[in-house]
Amino acid sequence: MIRDNEDIARRTTGTPIKITGVKTVVVNAEMRNWIFVKVLTDQPGLYGWGEASLNWKTRAVTGAVEDLEPMLLGRDPRDIEQCVRAMNKFSYYNLGMVGVTAISGIEHALWDIFGKSVGLPVWRLLGGKVRDRVRVYTHLGLGEMKSVYETFDVGSLKERAAAVVEKGYDALKVVFIPYGAHTSPIPAQRHVGKMMEALRTTVGDGVDIMIDFHGRPGSIAAAMGFIRELEPYRPMFCEEPVQPGDTEALRIIAEKAECPIASGERLVGIKEFQPVFNQRALHIAQPDLNHTGGLLEGKRIAAAAEAALIGIAPHNPNGPLAGVAALHFDVSTPNFVIQEEMSGAVPWYDDVVQTPIRRVGSAWEVPELPGFGIEVNEAEAAKHPFKPEVMHAMSAVLEDGTIVDW
């Protein structure tokens, strides 16, 4: 592999390169589908891999990738800014989450090609190394989706949290805010407080805890009712306490809360992040590099956040290629705080992809292979073809039949 990359770098230095095709490989990871994107070139052995996974939108995203392909054919993949502009500008209509996710996966693959063509890891092309390791956190069940989204019992919570710590992590995220609307009943608040107390007692003060609200509260008051129960146990942050889009509500919560507030996984591009930064409506921004436009746009978001004294904790519940792209971004981003990862989502996680991700304790090591340093085993991937994903959101219904936010 290393010799092949060295040969590619020698052969392509100063040589025109053209994109000849863009394809997708869908891998069903039981609770969600991973969408891998492969960009092909006219240079033998030179191609790039990215990821464009978006839950419950697999066929829409793969269709978007197919629609975007003609805008790239014949272009030099190393002209990343120009390629992204072509996909955005020539599309005419605003692309939204589906289209920008497709662009993100393609853009990742272009960086992989660029790195391979010059024999350097992508993080060097993004500005170089600003840290020697990347702190990460995982979820209950080590990424197993049922544990992540369906742990509301104190006993199960303690057992699964202890298992995470035993694996060497010093930070974890939980999702135990109940479905609700514009009020938060006292029993519901008390149960959240009880869960948090049990969690802190189990893992101790040396482990950071993040609570993902998933935008479930339907009002500022409802969100604050739960936050007040959590504050005594010093969460690292409370994530998405209200639905994205209401910057004023988020700002009020950030001012009232006695713990850091995070959000941003559902925002697209610097244009949607900038108003949030201008109002100092959060403390930690969580762009998803699969969904916000790619690494270049992620770096713009991070720079704007840094100017507003806001940290960056990229969202990433996706597959192994998304993790590698985030790793390279994190190595090169000064205001990075912590990285989400779900490496235990399926037992065969590492079989479909060879990655340079190496975890020591609760941190990823800095990779040195050219490009992203990844290779997809397409034969192994084919053993896990597309399937409709589990619709967790279908459970977001109150006792009276009201459909609420998942």
The residues carrying an active-site annotation are 214, 315
| Distance (Å, whole) CA 131 – CA 15 | 33
The one-letter amino acid at 381: A
Crossing angle of helices 220-230 and 186-203, rounded to 10°: 40
Contact 220, 249 (CB under 8 A): yes
The one-letter amino acid at 125: L
Q: How far is CA 385 from CA 62, 109, 143, 379, 394, in A?
A: 14, 21, 20, 11, 23
Identify any residues that bridge with 38 across adjacent strands, giving them in sequence order: 23, 49
- The arrangement of strands across the sheet holding 33-41 comes to 19-28, 33-41, 47-51
Give exposure, 213-239, as e/b (b: 16+ Cβ within 10 Å). Answer: bbbbbbebebbbbbbbbbbebebbbbb
Judged on CB neighbours under 10 Å (0-12, 13-18, 19+), 13 is exposed
Identify any residues that bridge with 138 across adjacent strands, giving them in sequence order: 172
- Give me the sign of the Cα torsion angle 362, 368, 372, 376: negative
| Distance (Å, whole) CA 309 – CA 23 | 39
Cβ atoms < 10 Å from Cβ of 399? 6
In three-state form (DSSP H/G/I as H, E/B as E, the rest C), the secondary structure along 263-278 is: ECCCCCHHHHHHHHHH
DSSP type of residue 400: T
Q: What is the CA radius of gyration of the chain?
A: 21
Contact 341, 136 (CB under 8 A): yes
Identify any residues that bridge with 50 across adjacent strands, giving them in sequence order: 37
| Distance (Å, whole) CA 71 – CA 107 | 13
Contact 192, 178 (CB under 8 A): yes
